[in-house]
Each structure stands twice: as C-alpha cells, then as structure tokens.
Amino acid sequence: MVSILRCFQVLCLSWVILQLQIPLASAAAMQALTGWEPDRFVADLPTGDAKSLTVIKAGRMVDVETATVEENVTILVSGNRIQKVGKDVPIPAGATIIDLSRKTVLPGLIDCHTHITDENEPDPIVELQTTAADKVLHAIPAARRTLLAGFTSIRDVGTYRALIDVSLRNAIEKGWVDGPRMYVAGAYITSTEGGGAMAGFAPDIKLPEELRYGKADGPWEVRQRVRELAHRGVDFIKVIATGAVLTHGSNPNSVEFSEEELLAATDEARRFGLKVAAHAHATAGIKDAVNAGVASIEHGTFLDDECIALMKAKGTYLVADIYNEDYIQGDAQKNVIPKDFLEHDTGMGQAQRDNFRKAAKAGVKIAFGTDAGVFPHGTNAKQFPYMVRYGLTPMQAIQSATISAADLIGKANLIGSIKAGKLADLIAVDQDPLTHINELENVKFVMKDGRIYKNE
C-alpha cells in the first residue's frame, strides 16, 4: 500500500511540475515528499530549465575582487544570474555553450558619469530646439552603442530636461529598447543661474518647468527638490556644488552651494535611501561637499592635499573624467564650442589629470566616469589608458569600472564582479587587458542579464 501511495504521489507531483513548468531542480521537494531521487535522471542540474542555462568557457577570467586572473574557468549562467564559477563546473545536458577559451572574460563595465540623453551638443541651447520625445528617441541608439561597447551599467548624472532619463531607464528595464542598466538622477539640483541651470538667456525669457525643475536656493528649497525627485523614482541625487565649464555665465572656480545647502541635500537624500553625487571643480566646493557627506565628487579638478585627505578619511569616491579634455579641445579646434566655455576650460585639463594622479597615489577611492555625451557614447573605454597613464595600474583601472563603481552605486551585491548569485553581466576581449589596457576599446562579447547582445 505504501509503495502504491508513493507512486501516486510521484505521478501527481510530476503532472503539477509539467503543467507549471517548474524546473527539475525544484524536484528536491518531490524527493523530500516521496524519496524519489532526481539525480538518477539529471545529474546536478541547477535551478532553471536547461534551455535557459548558458555555459561560458573562459580562457582567462579577471577576478576583480581578488585582483587576479584565472585560466580555464567555466561560468554557469542560469536565467539572468551567475550560478557557478570554477574550473570543474559540471556542464548540464542541453545547456548552451559559449566558447571564449581564447579570450579574456571580465565583468560588465560600469560608467558612473554619463549623460546618455546628450551627445555632441556643446551648447545647452539645443534644449530649446528639441522636444522631450526628440531627446529620448535620440538617446536610444546612444544607449545601444554604450551597451555594445561593454558597458552593461551606467550612472547617468543629470539632464537639463527633467526626468527624461527616468523614461529611458524604464524603457530599457521593460525591454522596449536595448541599453545598459541605468541609474539616474532625474535632474540637476542647482542654484539660480548655477552650473546645472539653463543659463545665458535674456531675463524676460521664461523657461518651462521641465527646464528649471532642479533650481533651488536655500536649504529648504534643496530639500523640496530632493523630495520631488525621490518621489519621481530617481536612483540618486546630483547636486552642482560649484560652477561648470559647459554653462553660460558660470565660473568653475566659484562655489555655488553653501555647505548648509549641501548638508540639506545629503540629509534629505538619506531619508529616502539615496546617495548624493556632487559636481565640483573648485577646491572650496569640493571640501564643502565632502564635509556634507556626498558619496562622490564628480570631476574634482582642483583637489588639493586637504581635499584628498578629507576624501580618504570619509571614503568619498572620486569620479574624474580625465579623457574628456582631449575631446573638448578637439571640438575647440573645430570652432563648435562657445567662446566662453573655452575660457572656462583654460588650464583645467592638465590640473585635473595631475590632481587625479595625486589622489590615486594617496589611495582615494576611484570610480570610473567619463562624461560621455560631451564625446560620443560607445567610446567610453577610451578613458582607460588615461587612468593608467595618470597613476592607476591596469587592474586598478578595471576595478574602478567594475567592483568600485558597483560599490559607489550601491549595487555591489548585484553587479561588478563575476561571482555566483550576481547578475550575469559579462564581456570578453581578445587580448589580456592587463597588458594591453586599450583592448577594452574592442569588446567582442557582451552579455547583460544573461542575454547575449554581442558575440563576434
């Protein structure tokens, strides 16, 4: 009677599994109930239908957590997650096998300073010549190029037209368009006529709300902007602590938010579980932002020794776009950048690079960020050789765009390294990037969320 009952249980549970398409690995429940041993039929089949399993054979794999390179590694991907990583991972029957045995495999890259809805637009006046729909549609191919270049995640650090980055992020998440995983700021929080404002117009011209959404003067207005953005679903807050290069009427050496205003931003953001990134060129503005508790200093052009010591003590990240200057000066020679922008930029490029070297030598935490949008999207990796030239080892440069960037974003549990349980974001290149760092400009394989977008 017991054996008849057990057979009946097996038949019933098998019918349920087939109807609901429950993976065979969940048959552990059947074994517990019935004593049936699933491994008599499928040996060590991981969670997930075999059709959703992908096995990647990596000739070399960069382990950014241990700063080592391992050879002949097997990576088992189930659905959108990495399930197993090692040299002796069993290959389930029916799994798709990707042979990258002659390539170097790395985690998907992360750029922490992009403007995906902008590209080759040296003057913000273009915002008055386009609609919000134009901006988002124009960003779709830029997002795809960024993904195919190996950047599976980006932090987009602000737009003049509020919340269009939120729309693009959501479209990518829903699978409507291809692009990197996006973490967005929604708008710049900036003072009146500040570095993140649409400025340079006659005083009797009134901009629409969406083009002055983040304007705030005084701590309570700053708090209000943070609250509005938080309720609109942004992933972090971006404040403009000092003047900017690419803004009319601005001065990169000026301090545009007081420490009290910056404290209001970080305190209010913290209530919503959000971090704050601070655009800051001027030395005093950098210090105020670090003292206020921002997570990152963007640009950090005029860092001094005190700034570096403060950032190291507080664990503040530096996100410095040290490749970007070459492109700005290239555009200057083509006469496409407004004259006042070039005046702002005088002497800043080399100062930023020299201070980046000092920060790197001192051990300041560094996350990869390029300011892509000022230069073409999809060419983000051009910054890697500059980071090596100005003080980082190739491994440190790679870590800045993987595990360190993931830590800054607050998603190190999901992205940034090749580890069981994390999202399956993987790229591959032909040569060893630790020997040839510019190899990261020629990514041959891209997987994001377990889906292959590029396989040359």
Residue range 382-400: mean pLDDT, rounded: 98
- The residue among 204, 116, 191 whose CA lies nearest residue 161 is 116
Question: pLDDT at position 36, please?
Answer: 34
| Inter-residue contact 378 to 119 (CB < 8 Å) | no
pLDDT in tens, 65-83: 999 999 999 999 999 999 9
Q: Is the pLDDT of residue 46 over 50?
A: no
Between 164-173 and 132-148, two packed helices, what is the crossing angle to 10 degrees?
Answer: 50
Residue 30's pLDDT band (boundaries 50, 70, 90)? very low
Identify the weakest region by mean pLDDT among 89-103, 123-137, 260-274. Answer: 123-137
Burial classification of residue 284, based on how many CB atoms lie within 10 Å of its CB (0-12 exposed, 13-18 middle, 19 or more buried): middle
Q: Is the pLDDT of residue 49 over 60?
A: no
Residue range 152-161: mean pLDDT, rounded: 95
Amino acid at 220: W
Contacts of 319 (CB under 8 A, 6+ apart): 112, 113, 277, 296, 297, 298, 299, 300, 366, 367, 368, 369, 408
Q: What percent of the chain has pLDDT over 70?
A: 81
Residue 207's pLDDT band (boundaries 50, 70, 90)? confident
Residues 392 and 395: their CA atoms lie apart, in Å, by: 8
Residue 40's pLDDT band (boundaries 50, 70, 90)? very low
Q: Is the pLDDT of residue 282 over 50?
A: yes
The values of phi and psi at residue 91, to 5°, are -100, 115
Residues 379 and 441: their CA atoms lie apart, in Å, by: 7
Residue 2's pLDDT band (boundaries 50, 70, 90)? very low
pLDDT in tens, 87-125: 989 999 999 999 999 999 999 999 999 999 987 666 667
Q: How far is CA 95 from CA 45, 52, 53, 378, in A?
A: 10, 7, 5, 31
Identify the weakest region by mean pLDDT among 34-48, 184-198, 203-217. Answer: 34-48
Token pair recorded at residue 194: 């500040």
Question: pLDDT at position 253, please?
Answer: 72
Residues 390 and 75: their CA atoms lie apart, in Å, by: 34
Residue range 337-366: mean pLDDT, rounded: 83
Report, in this order, helix, strand and coil percent for the chain, each rounded to 5: 40, 20, 40
From the centroid of its chain, how far is CA 2? 58
Q: Is 96 helix (H, G, I), strand (E, B) or coil?
A: strand
Span(s) in the chain for CATH 2.30.40.10: 46-107+419-456
Number of helical (H) and strand (E) elements in the chain, helices listed first: 14, 15
Question: pLDDT at position 349, please?
Answer: 82
What superfamily in CATH does domain 109-415 come from?
Metal-dependent hydrolases (3.20.20.140)
Amino acid at 189: I
Token pair recorded at residue 170: 């959501």
Amino acid at 159: T
The CATH number of the structural domain formed by 46-107+419-456 is 2.30.40.10
Residue whose pair of structure tokens reads 């059709």 in the numeric block:
51
Question: pLDDT at position 259, please?
Answer: 95
Residues 186 and 387: their CA atoms lie apart, in Å, by: 28
Token pair recorded at residue 142: 């830029």
Residue range 276-284: mean pLDDT, rounded: 96
Highest-confidence segment of 42-46, 118-122, 277-281:
277-281
Q: Is the pLDDT of residue 453 over 90?
A: yes
Span(s) in the chain for CATH 3.20.20.140: 109-415
pTM, full prediction: 0.86
Token pair recorded at residue 250: 């601005």
The values of phi and psi at residue 272, to 5°, are -100, 5
Looking only at the bridges linking them, the beta strands covering 451-455 and 445-448 are antiparallel
| Inter-residue contact 83 to 46 (CB < 8 Å) | yes
Q: What percent of the chain has pLDDT over 90?
A: 70
Residues in the chain: 456
Q: Is the pLDDT of residue 26 over 50?
A: no
Calculate the average pLDDT of the chain. 86
Burial classification of residue 51, based on how many CB atoms lie within 10 Å of its CB (0-12 exposed, 13-18 middle, 19 or more buried): exposed
Identify the weakest region by mean pLDDT among 33-47, 104-118, 236-250, 362-376. Answer: 33-47
Q: Is the pLDDT of residue 209 over 90?
A: no
DSSP H/E element including 303 = none
Residues 403 and 408: their CA atoms lie apart, in Å, by: 9
Residue range 131-138: mean pLDDT, rounded: 91
